[in-house]
Amino acid sequence: MTIQFNDETFRDDYTFHNSDWAIRRFPFPFHEDSYMYSVNMEQHRGGPAGSVYEKRFDVDEHYVSEMKDRAIVLAEDPLRCQSLPHMTLAGWDLLELIMVSKSEDYPDLFELHRDGNDWRWINRPLGIDDRFTFLDEATLPYGPMEYITRQTQGDFAVLDQRDENLWMDAGMVTTQADWSLDFDIGMNFFEWHAPVPLAHEMGIFKRALKFLLNVQQGNPARRLNWTMTVNPLLDTSPENYHKWGIQKTTLTPENIGSKQHLRVELQTFFRLPRSNALVFPIRCYMIALQDVVTVPKWGRRLHRVLRDVPVELATYKGFIGNRPLIVDYLSQFDDGLPTSDGIWPDLDTEPPLRKG
Amino acid sequence: MSAGTEKIDVTVTDIVKLNDLVTRFKFERSDGGQLPTFSGGAHTVVEMQDDGITRLNPYSLMSDPMDQSAYTISVRRDDEGRGGSLFMHNRVKTGDRMVISYPVNLFSLDLRARKHLMIAGGIGITPFLAQIKQLDRLSGRFELHYACRSAALGSYVDELTANHPNAVHVYYDDQKQAIDLQRLLTGQPLGTHVYVCGPKGMIEWVRKTSAALGWPEEAVHYEEFLAPQSGKPFQVRLAKSGITVDVGEHESLLEAIERAGIDAPYLCRGGACGQCETDVIESDGTFVHRDHWLEDEDRASGCKIMPCVSRFEGRTLVLDR
């Protein structure tokens, strides 16, 4: 399938929108009617055709516009992309992983031609055709990690592995759920997760770290995480909180369906072969509540999950103030019928909304 | 989910006897494709079908990590061992098909180091061969101190000294040459990391000496693969699987569990990585802990065992597996 790329914005006039195709393939994160933390990891080995799990690095209709938004963020704040000196090899690893994956998974969009270390990379959607020497930084316009992540949707945390821990030693972070690479750079796994409530006490991070240290070459893993964002704003960073935090006060019963978005991160984990580092791509998908509820099962379930999620979690995820408004709105789409297990929309088998 | 590692079908394309003890094996993909790149210090687990027994032994990859056409390993013959190295030496022939795992690295370079100081004993040279090739490409600074029994048993000494005349120092036991460790560790520039691979005694020596000299623990790296040792046969009950398994004299607890058809987790099979850690539900007897993963309090509690290398002597052992 050739993807039709949207011309849209993630700021100012917010023309971002999901097509019916994008709505149906949205990675809805709740497999049951309630939510609590878990180490919900699974192998990242493809998934149903057309789903966001199918390819190693999903490319969708937002690709070109997301890359334009990233370039704007970087022009205003170059510290969103950092790589400590020892992480350059991991950057080449990442460039190789993405170029090989995308050229194999989307041959109509991307091409990679390799003759020893002489490489040619063609990125059709972005109009790029570059020749460079693999492992020679002087032949690229940016460092290898920055070069390839300016062309790949999602944030990237590149983690060094040493001393039985993971270290946030490089990254490209412009579409984040309120965390800062500049603040976290050089921190270890427990340090950068310190602000998360409840999970430490549950032992979640110890188990998660043990799992991640053992992610091996050729065997990537994935999980979903989620939060709520007012307006389809990719750059919900602490650095710009003064610009976007205020937008959370603009919700009304009339505009909430279009303004309030469910924000889902598809997090994947790949061992990088040459450096033994771990890359953690964090891909952000957004969907307006009014689009979520076009899938009856998701409307029912999202209402129940957000209504019942613990206060600490709603506070940490930043929607505690708007929760009454959100739950009120979603209650119109919950007729109390049971929902099927799993995250899939099940449009053919789940009953339509019973009008009260 | 055993090992979490992918397998690769390979063909043995070259076997070179280096000296009385060490033989080198070259593997290429049987389907003609390219092998994954890896990082210096990585190992592969080689599967051996030895008369009905499946042996899984880890060997350090010693070839150039950037060379995707072939992997090489060097195997030291252990006449006292349980047979893995003897199988490789006596039974494997050029042209044989074998199965190996994707590379796994439990001994990687700390790429922050200003200088990499490598200390090798005997066959412990193999991970350094790949690391040196990697550092060569990246213009990394290293210095190797390599102790071997005699010139006749000094695997790769000629190649190393020819390629890196100013960075390689060799010591022969039979000529009473020894590494002056105290002096070596005292004279290193700030930002040096030390790596040691060799016999248990050598690793202990480097760890203790560096600690006494105030080296930070994070700057001292070591890899010691323990081979599982033989021991008295014993019986184990696997509670989750609902079966009882006899562990033979010459097989490890992990091997016995696998033989019973249970897919148990593992990675290094040498007591180092922690992946096979198993909870003990009940025991009446003595544990023979041989790993270097469990903490002292884990051992004292009698609640955990590393089945890749550790054994049990006594009446009852029930595991949560």
Q: Which fold has domain B115-223?
A: Rossmann fold (3.40.50)
Closest in B111, B134, B267 to A86, CB measured: B111
Q: pLDDT class for B54, splitting at 50, 70, 90? A: confident
Between CA A156 and CA A81 the distance in angstroms is 9
pLDDT band at B236 (very low <50, low <70, confident <90, very high): very high
Residue A208 has pLDDT above 80, yes or no: yes
Enclosing domain of residue A201 = 20-331
Instruction: Mutation target for B interface from A114, A216, A272: give the one with most B CBs within 10 A.
Output: A216
Instruction: Encode burial over B129-143: b for 16+ CB neighbours within 10 A, e otherwise.
Output: bbbbbbbeeeebebb
- What are the DSSP calls for B23-53, one per residue? EEEEEEETTS-PPPP--TTEEEEEEEEETTE
B-chain residue closest to A272, CA distance: B38
Over the stretch B253-262, which tens digit does the pLDDT of each residue have?
999 999 899 9
Q: Has residue A3 been placed in a domain?
A: no
Mean pLDDT for the stretch of residues B184-205: 95
Q: How many domains does chain A have?
A: 1
> For residues B95 and B15, what is the distance between their CA atoms, to the nearest angstrom?
10
pLDDT at B1: 32
The pLDDT, as a whole number, for residue A356 is 62
Mean pLDDT of A187-199: 89
Please indicate whether residue A223 is annotated as part of the active site: yes
| Cβ atoms of A169 and A185 closer than 8 Å | yes
A216 touches chain B (CB under 8 A): yes
Mean pLDDT confidence for B3-30: 92
> Taking the C-alpha atoms of A316, A320, A326 and A331 in order, what is their torsion angle to the nearest 10 degrees?
100
Whether A214 sits inside 8 A of B4 (CB atoms) is: yes
Contact assessment for residue B121 and residue B198, using Cβ atoms and an 8 Å cutoff:
yes
Q: What is the pLDDT of residue B225?
A: 67
pLDDT at residue B226 greater than cutoff 80: no
Domain boundaries, chain B: 2-105, 115-223, 234-319
- Which residue from A163, A210, A273 is facing B39, i.e. has the nearest CB? A273
Among B39, B42, B267, select the one facing A214 at the smallest CB separation: B267
Instruction: Classify residue B102 by its DSSP letter.
Output: P
State mean pLDDT over A299-312.
96
DSSP 8-class letter at B227? P
Q: How far apart are CA A20 and CA A295, in angstroms?
A: 11
Residue B3, pLDDT score: 46
A133 touches chain B (CB under 8 A): no
Give the dihedral of Cα atoms B255, B256, B258, B259; nearest 10 deg.
110
Q: Do A274 and B66 touch (CB under 8 A)?
A: yes
The answer to whether residue A132 is domain-embedded is yes
B233 pLDDT higher than 50:
yes
The percent of residues above 70 in pLDDT, for chain B, comes to 98
Using 50, 70 and 90 to split pLDDT, how confident is the model at B2?
A: very low
Is any Cβ of chain B less than 8 angstroms from the Cβ of A215? yes
**Does A351 reside within a domain?**
no
Report the C-alpha gap between A126 and A129 in whole angstroms: 9
Q: Which helix (H) or strand (E) holds A120?
A: strand A118-123
3-class state of residue A182 by DSSP: helix
| Virtual torsion, Cα A301, A3, A227, A12, nearest 10 deg | -120
| Integer Cα distance of A52 and A163 in angstroms | 34
Residues B42/B100, Cβ–Cβ less than 8 Å = no
CB-based burial of residue B169 (10 Å sphere; 0-12 exposed, 13-18 middle, 19+ buried)? middle
A353 domain-assigned: no
Of B122 and A214, the structure prediction assigns the larger pLDDT to B122
Subunit contact B218:A162, Cβ cutoff 8 A: yes
Q: What are the pLDDT digits (tens) for B264-318?
A: 888 778 887 788 899 999 999 999 998 878 888 889 899 999 999 999 999 899 9
**What ipTM is given for this predicted complex?**
0.86
Contact A218 B65 (CB under 8 A): no
Q: Per residue in A339-353, pLDDT tens?
A: 999 999 999 999 999
B178 touches chain A (CB under 8 A): no
pLDDT at B246: 94
A198: left (phi over 0), alpha (psi -120 to 50) or beta: left
- Report yes or no: A158 and A90 within 8 Å, Cβ to Cβ: yes
CATH 2.40.30.10 assigned to domain B2-105? The reply is yes
Higher pLDDT, A38 or A165: A165
Q: How confident is the model at residue A19 (pLDDT cuts 50, 70, 90)?
A: very high
- Cβ-Cβ contacts under 8 Å, B39 against chain A: 273-276
Of the listed ranges A45-59, A316-330, B258-272, the least confidently predicted one is: B258-272
| C-alpha pair distances (Å), A65 with each of A16, A148, B198, B308 | 9, 16, 55, 52
Q: What are the two backbone dihedrals, phi and then psi, of residue B221, each rounded to the nearest 5 degrees? A: -120, 140
* pLDDT of B52 above 90: no
Q: How far is A276 from chain B (nearest CA, A)?
A: 6
Looking up tokens 């709105």 gives A329
Cα–Cα distance for residue pair B85/A244, rounded to 1 Å: 64
pLDDT grade, residue A290 (50/70/90)? very high
Whether A337 maps to a domain, the answer reads no
Mean predicted lDDT score pLDDT of chain A: 94
Q: A219: pLDDT confidence band, cut at 50, 70 and 90?
A: confident
Average pLDDT, chain B: 92
Which one of the listed residues A56, A80, A222, A223 is annotated catalytic? A223
Can you tell me the distance from the alpha carbon of A276 to that of A217, in angstroms, rounded to the nearest whole number?
9
Homologous superfamily of B234-319: Beta-grasp domain (3.10.20.30)
Identify all chain A residues contacting B6, using CB atoms and an 8 Å cutoff.
Answer: 216-219
